[in-house]
Amino acid sequence: MFDIERIKEIIPHRNPFLLVDRILEINEGKRAVGIKNVTINEPYFLGHFPDYPVMPGVLIVEALAQVGGVAMSNVESNNHKIGLLTGIDNCRFKRQVKPGDQLLLVFDVIRIKGQIVKGKGVATVNNELVCECEIMFAFSSI
């Protein structure tokens, strides 16, 4: 299990764009499971939407991609590189995410080809499906 300090050692994201609070499980190069505690203090709730706060779907996908970055971070060929989003396929949203929810974020690697990684991301709240998608990213030298 990785806490926020360990996550910050692995991926370059920082507040307010670090969207993973804890890693619960990691199988390097294959799978990672993380959580995001959604609070009313998130800066995006000021405008999305002031009277009906809902976490933007694009940020749910980004949180899944960050968990994917953690899964791939210790693969030898990715040391000292940054993962850049290259594609999102078959993305569907099934439930709104609101302050007080805890997102469970699962990223399973489907394929690795050179520096390109494709994986399936699934986000749930209380065992209810929130989002599922396929995410591709490429590792690039910093």
Q: CA-to-CA distance for 139 and 13, rounded, in angstroms?
A: 15
Q: Which residues contact 71 (CB under 8 A, 6 or more apart)?
A: 26, 27, 28, 29, 30, 31, 32, 107, 109, 119
Is residue 18 within 8 Å of 7, Cβ to Cβ? yes
d(CA 12, CA 69): 10
Which of 30, 48, 95, 98 does the annotation list as catalytic? 48
Please measure the distance between the N-terminal and C-terminal CA atoms of the chain and give it in whole angstroms: 27
Active site residue 48: yes
Task: List, by residue number, the catalytic residues.
Answer: 48
